C-alpha cells in the first residue's frame, strides 16, 4: 500500500515514522509512505503557497496551483488514479468504518490544508473530505496522522495478531477491560473469572463488559447495533447479575 502526504510542514510526520506499529510497517515494506513539501510545487521563486481571499476577510487561503502541480507530477510518477483525501473540519466524520474502507485502497494521497483553508477548486480533485472531530486545528497534519495511524491497523500484515485491530469501536462495541500481573494491587483485584481458565466464561465476561461499556458510554453506537445471539446471552447475564445486586466483575 502506498500512502502519500502533501504538506508545508513535512517534518511533522517524523513523529509518525519513528515509532510503534507504523514504523514496523514501513520497515517491512507493507506500507510505502512518502511526505512531500507543497512548496516544491510552486511556480514562483519565493515558493508562495497562500494568498489573500477574493471578497476580503481574515486570514490567508492556500493557492490552487501548487496542489494541481503536485497531482500532475504524482500521476506522471506513480499512478493516474490515487484516492485523494482532504483533511478539513468540514468533511465527513472519520471513524473505524472509514479507516477500514481506506485500508482497502492501493494508493492514498492526503492533502493537508492550513490558514483559512484551501482554494475551493482544490476540492474538485478530491475523492473524500474527512474530519476527525468538530473542532479546528492549525492545519490538517495532525488529522492526517490520526487517520493514517488508524487505517494502517487494518492493512493485512501490519499487526502480528489480526484480532489486535479489533479494539474499541470494532463491530460497533467498545473494548472490554484488560488486566495483567499482579493479581492484586492496593486492594484492587483482577476479576476471578479471568483466573480460572474457563475460556467460555471468559469470552462471555468480556462480551458483557463490551455491552455494558457501550451502553453507558456510547449509547448511540449500541442503538445502531443489530443484536446477535452472543449479545442476547450477554444481556441476559447482565440482567441476572443486576437482579442479584452484583457487578460484572463479580461474575463467577
Q: Which residues are catalytic?
A: 89, 116, 153, 167
- For 140, counting Cβ atoms within 10 Å of its Cβ (0-12 exposed, 13-18 middle, 19+ buried), the class is buried
Cβ burial of 112 (10 Å; 0-12, 13-18, 19+) is buried
Determine how many CB atoms are found less than 10 A away from the CB of residue 161.
Answer: 7
Tally of CB atoms within 10 A around 155: 18
Backbone φ and ψ for 197, nearest 5 degrees, come out as: 80, 10
Contact between 231 and 211 (Cβ < 8 Å): yes
123 vs 119: CA distance, rounded Å: 8
Amino acid at each position: 500500500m502506498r500512502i502519500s502526504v502533501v504538506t508545508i510542514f513535512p517534518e511533522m510526520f517524523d513523529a509518525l515514522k519513528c515509532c510503534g506499529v507504523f514504523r514496523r510497517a514501513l520497515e517491512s515494506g507493507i506500507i510505502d509512505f512518502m511526505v512531500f513539501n507543497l512548496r516544491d510545487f510552486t511556480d514562483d521563486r519565493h515558493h508562495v503557497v497562500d494568498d489573500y481571499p477574493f471578497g476580503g476577510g481574515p486570514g490567508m487561503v492556500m493557492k490552487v496551483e501548487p496542489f494541481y502541480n503536485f497531482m500532475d507530477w504524482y500521476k506522471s510518477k506513480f499512478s493516474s488514479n490515487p484516492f485523494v483525501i482532504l483533511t478539513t473540519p468540514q468533511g465527513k466524520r472519520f471513524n473505524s468504518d472509514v479507516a477500514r474502507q481506506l485500508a482497502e485502497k492501493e494508493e492514498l494521497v492526503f492533502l493537508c490544508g492550513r490558514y483559512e483553508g484551501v482554494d475551493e477548486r482544490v476540492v474538485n480533485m478530491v475523492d473524500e473530505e474527512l474530519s476527525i472531530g468538530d473542532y479546528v486545528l492549525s492545519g490538517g497534519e495532525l488529522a492526517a496522522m490520526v487517520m493514517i495511524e488508524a487505517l494502517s491497523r487494518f492493512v493485512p500484515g501490519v499487526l502480528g495478531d489480526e484480532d489486535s485491530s479489533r479494539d474499541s469501536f470494532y463491530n460497533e462495541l467498545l473494548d472490554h477491560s484488560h488486566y495483567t500481573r499482579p493479581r492484586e494491587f492496593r486492594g484492587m483485584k483482577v476479576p476471578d473469572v479471568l483466573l480460572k481458565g474457563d475460556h467460555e466464561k471468559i469470552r462471555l465476561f468480556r462480551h458483557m463488559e463490551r455491552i455494558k461499556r457501550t451502553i453507558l458510554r456510547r449509547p448511540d453506537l449500541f442503538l445502531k447495533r443489530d443484536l446477535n445471539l452472543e449479545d442476547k446471552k450477554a444481556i441476559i447475564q447482565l440482567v441476572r447479575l443486576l437482579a442479584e445486586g452484583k457487578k460484572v466483575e463479580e461474575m463467577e
